[in-house]
Amino acid sequence: MKSRRRVNSTVGPTAKQVSMNDWFGAISTTFDLPAEAAHGLIHRGFAVLRSAVPRASLGRLTEAYETAVSSATKEDTKVGSTSTRVEDFVNRGKEFDDLYVHPPLLNACCRVIGQPFKLSSFHARTLRPHARSGQLHTDVRRNSADWPLLSFIFMVDEFRPENGATRFVPGSHPWPGVPEDSLSDPGADYEGQVLACGPAGSLLIFNGSVWHDHSANTSGKPRRSLQGAFIPRDGHAGTDFAVRMQPETRLRLSPLAQYVLAL
């Protein structure tokens, strides 16, 4: 059996080796998604990949997270009813560079989106202690130019039942309706819902059409994560990374990252 050619997620092949038009094919044929995760993504709408961030890197990632969140401007910080969100983690340090080009994540994009894609958003989200459950929703409607959508969450902290792990309605991603149109109380527990738990460093990937939101954080501590989404290449990105691109970030970008960011 011939071995697959590997594309290094940090450096990647040169632009001469893979043209911009060929990246989708290169990603889909050279990057792997574990079979169990692929099955879960297709049939349940979500999957958890443990140890996506090596244990040795978790301390640096957590420290960089705290530094980036604490130094973010008011314009980039959104304080919601249950969580605080900080935008654009493409430009907040080299510690985050490998996350949005993580090979299994990009392979998942190929499977769900099924066409050339780009990163739409990449942000931090801290769920506050004693926060109530979020309202079940989908990340995109089927008539949107941004559908299909692949969402992801890197668990900076362990996701547990008591600290607001993301809840899903398994198999809901093919359903034609959305929770806000059919549920009297999208914030209530849904029969058959499942919590996506995992240790710090895990990666949660899910189809943007699956019904989901965070569960209640009944603990006394915040629960931190890095979240984002990929959309079809001709969709409207939530963040214009080309406009926001910092010179020091651009110098670090591999050809693969440039493709993912649609630069």
SS3 of 86, please? strand
SS3 of 183, please? coil
User: What is the structure's pLDDT at 18?
Assistant: 64
User: What is the structure's pLDDT at 2?
Assistant: 36
Q: How far apart are CA 172 and CA 157, in angstroms?
A: 27
Average of per-residue pLDDT across 237-248? 97
For the chain, which domains are there?
20-174+190-260 (2.60.120.620)
* Contact call for residues 112 and 186 (beta carbons, < 8 A): no
pLDDT single digits (tens) 110-132: 999 999 999 999 999 999 999 99
User: What is the structure's pLDDT at 22?
Assistant: 87
Share of the chain above pLDDT 90, in %: 92
pLDDT single digits (tens) 10-27: 444 444 456 666 899 999
Q: How far apart are CA 93 and CA 47, in angstroms?
A: 27
pLDDT single digits (tens) 195-238: 999 999 999 999 999 999 999 999 999 999 999 999 999 999 99
Share of the chain above pLDDT 70, in %: 92
> Among residues 194, 188, 197, 211, which one has the least CA distance to residue 138?
211
To which H or E segment does residue 205 belong? Answer: strand 203-207
Q: How far apart are CA 104 and CA 58, in angstroms?
A: 19
Q: How many residues does the chain have?
A: 263
Q: Is the pLDDT of residue 7 over 60?
A: no
* Contact call for residues 208 and 140 (beta carbons, < 8 A): yes
SS3 of 71, please? helix
pLDDT single digits (tens) 47-72: 999 999 999 999 999 999 999 999 99
pTM for the structure as a whole: 0.92
Average pLDDT, the chain: 93
Q: What is the DSSP string of 108-131?
A: HHHHHH-S-EEEEEEEEEEEPTTP
Residue 1 banded pLDDT, cuts 50, 70, 90:
very low
Q: Is the pLDDT of residue 96 over 60?
A: yes
Q: How far apart are CA 176 and CA 185, in angstroms?
A: 19
Q: What is the DSSP letter of 122?
A: E
User: What is the structure's pLDDT at 12?
Assistant: 45
User: What is the structure's pLDDT at 75?
Assistant: 97
